[in-house]
Structure 1
Amino acid sequence: MAKVEYELDGDVALATLNDGENRFNPEFLKAFGDALDEIEEKTDALTLVVRSSHEKIFSNGIDLDWLVPVLQKGDIETAKAFFRSLNGVLRRVAMYPMITVAAITGHAFAGGAIISCAFDFRFMRSDRGFFCFPEVDLGIPFLPGMNALLRKAIPAHVLQDMEYTGRRLTAEECERAHIVRKACHIDDLMTETLEFARGLGKKRGIIAELKKRLNKEITHAIDVEDIPYIESGKYNI
């Protein structure tokens, strides 16, 4: 089974993340990026929906089992390349030339929650799973580009509370905070998400231009502000 697969449902491309907990490592990021490229270049899809095949988890973020040994070996160039690649995927999702919808099928922790915020809309499973940034307890600050993505999706006072406390939010709490469009039982999640996605169908050109204008803070932060942090090779992990 491929790490990322997709199928077409009319003008909706439905991509499925199949890599277990969908933790970010070079192989996963490449597979996800390749799938995004193929959907854009080889289909006529107008809307992208992404879900996870894991029964409990959407994504648990950075694969620390891969990254920590890299850092312990002092292989800073590999670590730099990884963070450049991660930023590239986050930017790609945020600027994807079609409307994007994340179907959060379980826990979205750390980088998993961050990447969901790169999508334009989010639906979340209500019967299992939390949305959380535990980095405060790990001593890991977010890059400026990550914070810019989070500000796009999360109201300022809620984001401050989440980053400072590491508090876990349920799907219902995310819906009340307008982080997700709707909290749904798993039995209804994909039906609700796909029904919403099918009703969009906006042309790629106008969506791409709108994103260029709406997401200028994000692209500037990733392209400019993040660079010194990444190239320093000093990571609090």
Structure 2
Amino acid sequence: MNASTSSASAEPRSGDARFDLDGPVATVTLCRPQVLNAQTPALWADLREFGRTLPGDVRVVVIRGEGRAFSAGLDTKAAVTTLGELAAAPDADERIAGFQEAFSWLRHPSLITIAAVQGHAIGGGFQLALACDFRVVADDVAFSMAEIRLGLVPDLGGTKRLVELVGYARALELCVTGRRVAAAEASQIGLANVVVPREELDDAVKDLTAAVLEGPRDAVIEIKALLAAAAGHTFAQQEAAERAAQQRRIADLSGRGE
């Protein structure tokens, strides 16, 4: 990410999204409501570029969709072309890695990312929501990992986060059946941080954003790093990581940090 400060609106090449910068908050709005914000490789290229050029003073990124759906997944017309190209491409692995980068930047250690999810969040839409740290969802939400219906697998980084959130058995069941998960179940199994009436979604996201921004940035970054690494650590390793992080915070607060 860039270190510069910005308050502006970026212009994506695809026209499938709108990128707005307002101080420490960046908002990505999928804007194809006529097709339930279905995604295309061109959109993924724009998302990837936005992540690469995001100003360094941005602390929170909000992902949202216009209209009645967050995102219905990969555009059916784009899917035919994309899958055909990948089948014959010697660099298919590299191309898919590029698609994944459109989602992976949302896990950057210096960012807190929030998905504001209403209506359908299907396939790639579900994985886009999963790429975020938090999911604030409307009571009309319907999550589904629908790739199985095309004989495909989720390949945009969603499988790891899904297992982290709901556990292996539940994640496997959702991926191999493609069934839809409504708001109440999403809250129960850990997919949703909070569920609100549809008309309260924007306010709930604003409240969460404000709460995140109240915490000192460096402390938030340290906490996110600690929690992200916790699953792969023993207790001794995690305690050592906590000690190191705390010493950095104490040094910073006392004016002795680098």
Please tell me the TM-score bracket, short chain as reference.
0.7 to 0.9
1:27 aligned to which of 42, 61, 66: 42
SS where residue 58 of structure 1 aligns? coil
Offset of 1:170 from its aligned partner? 0.8
Name the structure 1 match of 2:108.
95
1:203 aligned to which of 203, 211, 217: 217
Paired with 1:133 and 1:167, the residues of 2 have a C-alpha distance of 7
* Runs of at least 5 residues in structure 1 that lack an aligned partner in the other structure: 219-237
Name the structure 1 match of 2:242.
none
Name the structure 2 match of 1:6.
19
Q: Quick check: which has more Rg, 1 or 2?
A: 2
TM-score, normalised to structure 1, is 0.75
What root-mean-square deviation, in Å, do the aligned CA atoms of Structure 1 and Structure 2 show?
Answer: 3.0
Residues 213 and 172 (structure 1 numbering): CA distance in 2 closer, same or farther, change over 3 Å? closer
Residues 203 and 131 (structure 1 numbering): CA distance in 2 closer, same or farther, change over 3 Å? same
Residues 166 and 206 (structure 1 numbering): CA distance in 2 closer, same or farther, change over 3 Å? same
Q: Within the alignment, does 1:40 sit opposite 2:40 as a pair?
A: no
Name the structure 1 match of 2:4.
none
Q: Deviations over 1:19-61 (max 9, x none)?
A: 34333322101222233334334xx2311111111x2221122
Name the structure 1 match of 2:152.
140
Q: Deviations over 1:86-111 (max 9, x none)?
A: 11122211225211110012210011
Task: Check the 8 A contact 1:46/1:204 in 2, yes or no.
Answer: no
Task: Check the 8 A contact 1:12/1:46 in 2, yes or no.
Answer: yes
Q: Deviations over 1:130-161 (max 9, x none)?
A: 10112233322334943213223333343232
Offset of 1:214 from its aligned partner? 1.9
Paired with 1:46 and 1:144, the residues of 2 have a C-alpha distance of 23
Offset of 1:64 from its aligned partner? 3.7
TM-score, normalised to structure 2, is 0.70
Equivalent pairs counted in the alignment come to 214
Residues 4 and 136 (structure 1 numbering): CA distance in 2 closer, same or farther, change over 3 Å? closer
Moved more, 14-23 or 44-53: 14-23
Q: Structure with the greater relative contact order (CA < 8 A, sep ≥ 6): 1 or 2?
A: 1
Name the structure 1 match of 2:64.
51
Q: Within the alignment, does 1:173 sit opposite 2:188 as a pair?
A: no
Residues 24 and 216 (structure 1 numbering): CA distance in 2 closer, same or farther, change over 3 Å? farther
SS where residue 183 of structure 1 aligns? strand
Paired with 2:202 and 2:22, the residues of 1 have a C-alpha distance of 12
Q: Within the alignment, does 1:110 sit opposite 2:123 as a pair?
A: yes
SS where residue 60 of structure 1 aligns? coil
Task: Check the 8 A contact 2:25/2:61 in 1, yes or no.
Answer: yes
Name the structure 2 match of 1:60.
72
Paired with 1:10 and 1:199, the residues of 2 have a C-alpha distance of 16
Report sequence identity in percent: 21
Map 1:151-166 onto structure 2 (within 5 A). Answer: 151-166=163-178
* Runs of at least 5 residues in structure 2 that lack an aligned partner in the other structure: 1-13, 233-258
1:119 aligned to which of 132, 135, 150: 132
